[in-house]
Amino acid sequence: MELERTSKDLAPLNTDQINSLQAFQKALNVKPKKVYTENIGGQTFQHLPIGVIENLLKKYFFGLYRIEIVDYRMIVNEITVHVRIHVYHPILKDWLYYDGIAAVPVQQNSGSPVDQFMATKKKDALHKNLPAAYAFAVKNAAKKIGAVFGADLNRKIEDGYVPFATEGNALNQ
């Protein structure tokens, strides 16, 4: 026997909760106050430093977040990191998570062939490159939360967040 689902089963939030949720989503989708620009390898890009990301997580989720390292590994001469940011959503009253991945080449002596990587890697390469990969993965995960975390940086096309209407009332006008 199949159960018939009602709109209340699918959307258990009342109009006030939906409006609060939309207001929170709107706050998460404003442009960041300050953006940092770097030139790496001849390419200029915008980003938010990891410290800014961590402070934004504290601000918007009232310190109720944690960053889990799901996996890290060496792939030839690169270190990859997979992280998961868990946040307690203040409106939904539930834990949500966002995954991020990153890969960073591990420094080795100039001109060294990749097949001799273990013999030619710099002494402190992992000391520098593993935390860098972690930071990039955290920033990658955080971008999925909203524009305030840098979601629209370095994109040619921005598709801004627009709240929807409930029960005939337009939200956040």
**Containing domain of residue 132, as a range?**
13-149
In a domain, residue 161? The reply is: no
Q: What is the CATH number of the domain that holds 98?
A: 3.30.390.80
In a domain, residue 167? The reply is: no
In a domain, residue 27? The reply is: yes
| Residue 17 confidence (pLDDT) | 86
- d(Cα 81, Cα 84) in Å, to the nearest integer? 10
- d(Cα 45, Cα 39) in Å, to the nearest integer? 6
- d(Cα 150, Cα 30) in Å, to the nearest integer? 9
In a domain, residue 158? The reply is: no
Closest CA to 145 of 88, 93, 103: 88
pLDDT of residue 152 exceeding 50? yes
Helix, strand or coil, per DSSP, at residue 84: strand
In a domain, residue 78? The reply is: yes
Could you report the per-residue pLDDT of 115-139, keeping only the tens digit for each? 788 788 888 888 899 999 999 999 9
pLDDT of residue 60 exceeding 80? yes
- d(Cα 147, Cα 160) in Å, to the nearest integer? 8
In a domain, residue 168? The reply is: no
Asked whether 28 and 145 are in contact (CB, 8 A), the reply is yes
pLDDT of residue 40 exceeding 80? no
Confidence tier at 106 by pLDDT (50, 70, 90)? confident
With a threshold of 0.85, does the pTM exceed it? Answer: no
| Residue 85 confidence (pLDDT) | 98
| Least confident piece of the model among 18-22, 37-41, 62-66, 108-112 | 37-41
In a domain, residue 8? The reply is: no
In a domain, residue 4? The reply is: no
Q: What sign results for the dihedral spanned by CA atoms 132, 136, 142, 146?
A: positive
Q: Residue range 40-69: average pLDDT?
A: 93
| Residue 122 confidence (pLDDT) | 84
- d(Cα 52, Cα 65) in Å, to the nearest integer? 15
| Residue 76 confidence (pLDDT) | 85
Q: What are the tokens at 100?
A: 């991020």
Asked whether 113 and 121 are in contact (CB, 8 A), the reply is no
Q: Residue range 76-101: average pLDDT?
A: 95
Total domains in the chain come to 1
- d(Cα 29, Cα 48) in Å, to the nearest integer? 15
